[in-house]
Structure 1
Amino acid sequence: MSRFDKYRQRLQASTDDMFARSVRFEPRGSDGLADTERVKREVVAPVSIGVRENQSFSGSRAGDFATDIRTGGAVIKPNRITYPDLDIRKDDWVVVTDLPGQPRFKVASVDDREPGRLMITIGNF
């Protein structure tokens, strides 16, 4: 454990308290059928849903270089310490249960390289 891990964990807990939503993951195969080997999971995690402007990867003289390459779409960021055994895969379904109408999404990709969080990119069906 690095010497900064305790600070990252504290920061993530604070962020979760302020921005987290209840999310249900429903395991699916690439064929869209339920994956019976995995169970549905309810988690509480920050969810970023909304339209983002596309950003250019090139900078300008004003110094507004876009370092966040991911443009558009939505992201769910579960804490890996809180949910160490979370098994989410591409094509799983996602329901944000505490938003009006309980919107449903499909997992587009899962990035597990971030040390503190899974980065789950979601999109419409």
Structure 2
Amino acid sequence: MAALDARYRALARRGRAMVWNEALRLFPLKDGRVDLERPQHPFAGAVRHGTEKASNASGGGAEAWATRVSASEAEARITRATYTGPQIREGDKIRCMDRTGQPFYEVAAVNDRDAGDLILRLVEA
């Protein structure tokens, strides 16, 4: 049953990528300066903004159970199997290449514990 569940999750990730992925570029920084040991890297990921209300599993309010995303914050999901660039770290910048004005975001947090995705919490830079 676990193999079937993994196949369904992989299918859902591929579907999300086909619909929501956009061109992104990693700008690695170290102490606020260009990190010469890690090159810039183009990749694809889904960047979403939102003001979703935090809730718990039963639908009630729970501030600690889920992350709130404000208007100036975003979340990026990158399919781990397709990402071939350098390790993404807090403080790096991500540029949305397909969006008007090609906005920059700073990586505020990196969650690499998801089975299939790298999840980045982004703030406007």
State the match for 2:36 in structure 1: 36
State the match for 2:12 in structure 1: 11
Structure richer in strand, relative to its length: 2
State the match for 2:60 in structure 1: 65
Measured after TM superposition, the shift of residue 124 of structure 1 is 1.9
**What amino acid sits opposite 1:5 in the alignment?**
A
Equivalences for 1:1-125 in 2 at 5 Å? 2-3=2-3, 4-29=5-30, 31-50=31-50, 52-55=51-54, 64-66=59-61, 69-72=66-69, 73-83=73-83, 86-125=86-125
Measured after TM superposition, the shift of residue 6 of structure 1 is 2.3
Q: 1 CA distance for matches of 2:86 and 2:37?
A: 14
Measured after TM superposition, the shift of residue 79 of structure 1 is 0.3
Q: Percent identity?
A: 25
Structure richer in helix, relative to its length: 2
Tell me the secondary structure at the aligned position of residue 11 of structure 1. helix
**What amino acid sits opposite 2:37 in the alignment?**
E
With normalisation by structure 1, the TM-score equals: 0.83
The number of aligned residues is 118
Q: 2 CA distance for matches of 1:18 and 1:26?
A: 24
Measured after TM superposition, the shift of residue 11 of structure 1 is 1.3
Contact 2:25/2:97 (8 A) holds in 1? yes
Q: 2 CA distance for matches of 1:112 and 1:66?
A: 26
Q: 2 CA distance for matches of 1:45 and 1:66?
A: 29
Contact 2:39/2:86 (8 A) holds in 1? no
Tell me the secondary structure at the aligned position of residue 65 of structure 1. coil
Measured after TM superposition, the shift of residue 83 of structure 1 is 1.4
Unaligned runs of 5+ in 1: none
* Range 41-50 or range 64-73, more displaced: 64-73
Structure-2 change in CA distance of 1:53 and 1:114 (3 Å): closer
RMSD: 2.1
Which deviations, in whole Å up to 9, do the C-alpha atoms of 1:53-88 show, x marking residues without a partner? 553x579xxx53257611022111100111155510
